[in-house]
Structure 1
Amino acid sequence: MSEPSESGDPKPHKTAEHQIGDPPQKEAAADFEAAIDAAGFGMFNILLLVAAVPAAMGTVYETSTMSYILPSAECDLKLSLLDKGILNAITYAGMISSAVLWGYLADIKGRRNLLIVGYAADTICVLGGALSQSRIQLMVFKYLGGFCMSGPFAVLMTYLTELHGRKHRQRIMMMVGIMFSIATLTLPGLAMLILPETWNIQIWTLSLTSWQFFVAVTALPSLLSFVLFFFFPESPKFLMSKGRNREALDAFKFMYHLNSRKPKDSFPIKLLANEVIVPVKKHAKDETIPTELKLPTECVEVQDPENQDSKKSSLRSGFTQLRPLFTKPYLGLSLWVYLLNFCVLLGQNTMRLWLPQLFASINEYENLMSGESQSTSICNILEYSVNRTQSQLEAVTRNDPTVECHVIITPSTYTNNLIVAGAGFVAYMLAGFLVNLVGVKLIMTSGLLIAAGCSIGMYWSSSAASTVALASLFVTMGSISATSVISASVSLFPTSLRTMIVSLEMMFGRLGSLLGNIFFPALMGLGCVPPFLMISAFMLAGCFMAAFLPLKNKAALK
């Protein structure tokens, strides 16, 4: 009986050494899903989730830290209202400008390498921000921080998904959501501990205060992530997609060894399927050179001579993949989804990032007016905050010795932020159960309608308690709606377009966050109603757009 390779058998998953030494009963090559299932779930996955906690914290801290230091840094950095808006927004500018670069690098260099480099670079940027002595320095480091964090922010989810089997993937995504919620809870806790302190340490020409120590502490999660990801393997899915099956098999064996406590050599799968389509070269007599036969066990060095061509081919395939988004039937739907995410994140992230400043003003105003009968309405507080910021900035600018720039920061300044974060955490847990009962569309439209009502309702808020209640409800509903938009868009488009749609959608959402944080302080200078009316209008627009999305509950994925 002749060997399969001589008889022209089309199966290209056996190496030369496998063909020579093995008896006729040969194992079939396993695909990624079979291999990841064989690796099991256990200690490796638990350690991976533990490592993902500081990673999630680092991504949240990068976008949210500025909102907590604005009241404390106001005098040191001579911040105007517009400066505060720019500091809140500039991280998103960095994320937008590097999104395409990181997406390209993630597909070329790998998930793990990008996470290591991204978190290392972010650590340097955060520490640079902590040492900043002027608002321009701080803005530059925050922009660079956003530029660096855009990659890890997107790739973390992909990396975690690719290291779990189908059985556990949905639960892992819920776990990631909980990690992000925990991160938002820890930030006001850190602020309560550090920011009320009156430290002022001189080191050479550097003056370090409590807000700078707070920023430096927020670099720890990124630093920890940078160290921890060295101990984890590259995504085997990525390795298989590049034809590096030997390395992928080593990764599966490492996972299996930790999960089962058995030797790596006892991993049941010895051969991985080829997931790379390599052009098959032929002789004149139509005999196939076994280029593909080496792929299951060896790194694809055979692709190196054609590296330039493969890059051009990759670029062409990228444009080919984009083409359906600019033609019917997906053009109108994709634009609809982009605009929806723009509206939702403009409202959500503007309110979320200005709440610490708003609550600090409420606390300061109440301390100032203690014993007086004047109501703590949002309009009184905004008017007080705008006038005080302007007068203190003018005093500091002209070096008036009679006026001292001073901000009252106490632990209670951040208590309200802790309440809002806690409400968001509880709601996130409930939303996970509700989404299967009532569907994404109803949750999204209801959440946006309630958020729009809460925003405009703040105008009539006459006490600190009612303001906190409305803000908690707004942030909660906005957060759930923003998550629902991403979830909805995944089910609206076919697999080949999903990654691109989510990337472009997030880019438009970040653009909304950037513009919202710049418009908000500009509108605050015009009066009490305009800033809240702007947020309410965008959330209401999002509600109407969500209502007309062609979504069906539990529809099969395309």
Structure 2
Amino acid sequence: MTLDFLDDTQVDYEDALQQAGFGKFHFFLLAICGLIYLNTAVGITILSFVLPSATCDFQMTSADKGWLTATPMLGMVLGSYFWGCLADIKGRKMVLIGALLLDGFCGVFSSISQYYWLFLCFRFFNGFGITGAMGICFPYLGEFQPTKYREKILCWMEIFWTLGVIALPLIAWAIIPLELSIDTQYFTFHSWNLFVALCAVPSLLIGTLLFFFPESPKFLIEVGEHEEALEVLKDMYHSNTGNERSEYPIKALKSKDPKNATDAPSLRNLSMKKPRHVKLLLVEVWEQTKALCRPPHLKNTILTCAIQFGLTASYYTLMIWFPEVFYRFREYEDLNPGKEASLCDVSFIMLDKQNHPQIAENYCGNPIEPEVYFHTVILGLACIPTSLLLPACIHRLGAKFFIIFSMFIAGLVTIGLYFVENSQQNLLLSCIFEALTSLGISTVYCVMVDLFPTNLRVMAAALSLTFGRGGALLGNLVFGFLIDLNCIIPIVLFSALLFISGILCFFLPSTGREALE
């Protein structure tokens, strides 16, 4: 259906989106954004296989591993708000490209690092880059979607995260066991280094592919570039319908906020090389930050930041350490056939070198058993049912239901980790935890697209991600220091954080039915 009577009048963005149709363009966009999200799953959890593989090369203790897993989180803490501010001022597309290319190049450089501190440095910048891609891909995808399809399309992103969680152990399983060893006086390169390098390549490829995709037309309207936005909508119309661009019925787009239409273009064209322009950008960032911290956005800002802190701290800490825990169970059960032990027993005994010297010796020297990779693949496969259930039932049950349900059950499962008596029980609870918490994280991202207006959307997501990554940073440090000494403390801590986040979700407004602001 066309709206010929609107040919000479300005229409709002939602009507213009409807006229552009829904089809091939949106599926291609979902594919590229899904690949970005899949790539973030690989980038964030890659260290889970580097920990046991690089232990001997870097002579790492559990505390060293805690710092290694925490360092990318520190990069994410500092990067989240930086990229969010930049995306709300300079645009979604170019910031996505910059974040992905930074992650890719730093990943390659980290793979050839010969010193622990240098590896830490590059992994910091990996975290700095990947958090930008993760925080922006949801708003970028959502701003192209008509209200009717937006929430369901965003929910399909969860399946890409699941594919990433499945792909990572398969890649590790194929690469790390290889007998690759280059050892010279000044340079060493083993199979785990190759694994790190290969996992960096997708960021470079996806960042390059994004050059062929348009900027968000909603953002272009927000900064007053209506003609550019109209050209993007014509391209969408041509791709979705097969009709000529000239047949697109909308000829002019309505500006919702005249102030933004005059001020924002100059901000977008400012150069980061000129001190005066940088000052203007910082002033704009400060003004938008103040807007997030004032009514009517203050309540949603506080809620999303607190929820992200609790959920992300629990998820990223335990997900990164699960393969390490599988590895420890495997080592213990190989040396003590038929003897049961809890997660805390297995963790504590790794320090007991005097009574169990054979464990201390083998823990560094043995390669990762295939069972460890297999168990991690099962973790990813366990997410498939919930990943398919989310888009199928999101309109019927609502996003809040999925978030609250996932957090409360995940909290109970976390408590259950204390009572496991063997690796099979640990695997079962780990699968449930991974399926529910990853579902919760993706649903929170979906909700946030509707909670904030366009000019604050990415910045709000970035602020909440900053709190989330801060939680993950603290969580990894706590887990690294306490897993060998008193593992009951992190278990109680993470379960409490999940329960508190679940309670806070009750205060979130309903989303998904309103028009995109």
User: Which band: TM-score by shorter chain?
Assistant: 0.7 to 0.9
| Match of residue 488 from structure 2 | 529
CA separation of 1:314/1:145 partners in 2, compared to 1, >3 Å: closer, same or farther? closer
| Match of residue 374 from structure 2 | 415
CA–CA distance in structure 2, aligned partners of residues 157 and 114 of structure 1: 13
Q: Which has the larger radius of gyration?
A: 1
TM-score, structure 2 as length reference:
0.85
AA in 1 matched with 2:348: E
Render the CA deviation track for 1:167-215: whole Å, top value 9, x for unaligned. 3322320222221221111111112211222211358943211111111
AA in 2 matched with 1:186: A
CA–CA distance in structure 1, aligned partners of residues 285 and 147 of structure 2: 27
CA separation of 1:147/1:389 partners in 2, compared to 1, >3 Å: closer, same or farther? farther
Q: Is the 8 A contact 1:85 1:518 kept in 2?
A: yes
CA separation of 1:367/1:166 partners in 2, compared to 1, >3 Å: closer, same or farther? same
1:334 Cα deviation after fit:
4.5
CA–CA distance in structure 2, aligned partners of residues 191 and 52 of structure 1: 24
CA separation of 1:489/1:405 partners in 2, compared to 1, >3 Å: closer, same or farther? closer
Q: Is the 8 A contact 2:449 2:457 kept in 1?
A: yes
1:312 Cα deviation after fit:
7.7
CA–CA distance in structure 1, aligned partners of residues 415 and 96 of structure 2: 40
Q: Is the 8 A contact 2:38 2:162 kept in 1?
A: no
Render the CA deviation track for 1:303-340: whole Å, top value 9, x for unaligned. 989x9999988766655554465567875774454333
* Partner residue of 1:187 out of 155, 162, 168: 168
Q: Is the 8 A contact 1:72 1:211 kept in 2?
A: yes
| Match of residue 382 from structure 1 | 347
CA–CA distance in structure 2, aligned partners of residues 555 and 48 of structure 1: 22
CA separation of 1:92/1:232 partners in 2, compared to 1, >3 Å: closer, same or farther? same
Q: Is the 8 A contact 1:57 1:221 kept in 2?
A: no
CA–CA distance in structure 1, aligned partners of residues 60 and 51 of structure 2: 8
| Match of residue 538 from structure 1 | 497
CA separation of 1:303/1:212 partners in 2, compared to 1, >3 Å: closer, same or farther? closer
1:76 Cα deviation after fit:
0.9
1:112 and 2:93 equivalent? Answer: yes
Query: Secondary structure at 1:76's aligned position in 2?
Result: helix
Query: Secondary structure at 2:58's aligned position in 1?
Result: coil
AA in 2 matched with 1:480: L
For residues 257-406 of structure 1, the aligned pairs below 5 Å read 257-274=238-255, 277=258, 319=286, 321-323=288-290, 326=293, 334-369=301-336, 372-387=337-352, 405-406=364-365
AA in 1 matched with 2:48: S
CA separation of 1:112/1:431 partners in 2, compared to 1, >3 Å: closer, same or farther? closer
Query: Secondary structure at 2:350's aligned position in 1?
Result: helix
CA separation of 1:168/1:445 partners in 2, compared to 1, >3 Å: closer, same or farther? closer
1:540 Cα deviation after fit:
3.4
AA in 1 matched with 2:171: L
Q: Percent identity?
A: 30
* Partner residue of 1:136 out of 114, 117, 130: 117
Render the CA deviation track for 1:375-396: whole Å, top value 9, x for unaligned. 243233212334469999xx9x
CA separation of 1:309/1:545 partners in 2, compared to 1, >3 Å: closer, same or farther? same
Q: Is the 8 A contact 2:88 2:458 kept in 1?
A: no
Render the CA deviation track for 1:34-67: whole Å, top value 9, x for unaligned. 3333332333333323323432222222211011
AA in 2 matched with 1:195: I
| Match of residue 454 from structure 1 | 413
AA in 2 matched with 1:382: S
CA separation of 1:389/1:104 partners in 2, compared to 1, >3 Å: closer, same or farther? farther
Q: Is the 8 A contact 1:376 1:463 kept in 2?
A: yes
Q: Is the 8 A contact 1:233 1:251 kept in 2?
A: yes
Q: Is the 8 A contact 1:192 1:412 kept in 2?
A: no
AA in 1 matched with 2:151: Q
For residues 234-273 of structure 1, the aligned pairs below 5 Å read 234-273=215-254
AA in 2 matched with 1:513: A
Q: Is the 8 A contact 2:17 2:146 kept in 1?
A: yes
Q: Is the 8 A contact 1:54 1:224 kept in 2?
A: no
1:438 Cα deviation after fit:
4.7
1:468 Cα deviation after fit:
0.6
CA–CA distance in structure 2, aligned partners of residues 554 and 161 of structure 1: 11
1:151 and 2:132 equivalent? Answer: yes
For residues 27-176 of structure 1, the aligned pairs below 5 Å read 27-176=8-157
AA in 2 matched with 1:476: A
CA separation of 1:86/1:391 partners in 2, compared to 1, >3 Å: closer, same or farther? farther
Render the CA deviation track for 1:518-556: whole Å, top value 9, x for unaligned. 001211232343332332233334344445x36569897
CA separation of 1:139/1:189 partners in 2, compared to 1, >3 Å: closer, same or farther? same
CA separation of 1:102/1:509 partners in 2, compared to 1, >3 Å: closer, same or farther? same
AA in 2 matched with 1:367: D
Query: Secondary structure at 1:75's aligned position in 2?
Result: helix
CA–CA distance in structure 1, aligned partners of residues 268 and 427 of structure 2: 59
CA–CA distance in structure 2, aligned partners of residues 191 and 94 of structure 1: 24
AA in 2 matched with 1:145: N
1:445 Cα deviation after fit:
4.0
| Match of residue 13 from structure 1 | none
Q: Is the 8 A contact 1:342 1:509 kept in 2?
A: yes
CA–CA distance in structure 1, aligned partners of residues 489 and 267 of structure 2: 62
| Match of residue 17 from structure 1 | none
1:424 and 2:383 equivalent? Answer: yes
CA–CA distance in structure 1, aligned partners of residues 451 and 32 of structure 2: 32
CA–CA distance in structure 2, aligned partners of residues 389 and 217 of structure 1: 40
TM-score, structure 1 as length reference:
0.79
1:147 Cα deviation after fit:
1.4
Query: Secondary structure at 1:218's aligned position in 2?
Result: helix
* Partner residue of 1:516 out of 467, 475, 488: 475
CA separation of 1:218/1:496 partners in 2, compared to 1, >3 Å: closer, same or farther? closer
CA–CA distance in structure 2, aligned partners of residues 78 and 214 of structure 1: 19
CA separation of 1:538/1:556 partners in 2, compared to 1, >3 Å: closer, same or farther? same
Query: Secondary structure at 2:250's aligned position in 1?
Result: coil
Structure with higher RCO (Cα < 8 A, 6+ apart): 2
CA separation of 1:390/1:57 partners in 2, compared to 1, >3 Å: closer, same or farther? farther
Q: Is the 8 A contact 2:96 2:207 kept in 1?
A: yes
CA–CA distance in structure 2, aligned partners of residues 236 and 300 of structure 1: 14
| Match of residue 213 from structure 1 | 194
Comparing 444-453 with 354-363, greater Cα deviation is found at 444-453
Q: Is the 8 A contact 1:488 1:551 kept in 2?
A: no
AA in 2 matched with 1:346: A
Q: CA RMSD in A?
A: 3.8
CA–CA distance in structure 1, aligned partners of residues 500 and 89 of structure 2: 39
CA separation of 1:523/1:26 partners in 2, compared to 1, >3 Å: closer, same or farther? closer
Q: What is the aligned length?
A: 507
CA–CA distance in structure 2, aligned partners of residues 330 and 250 of structure 1: 32
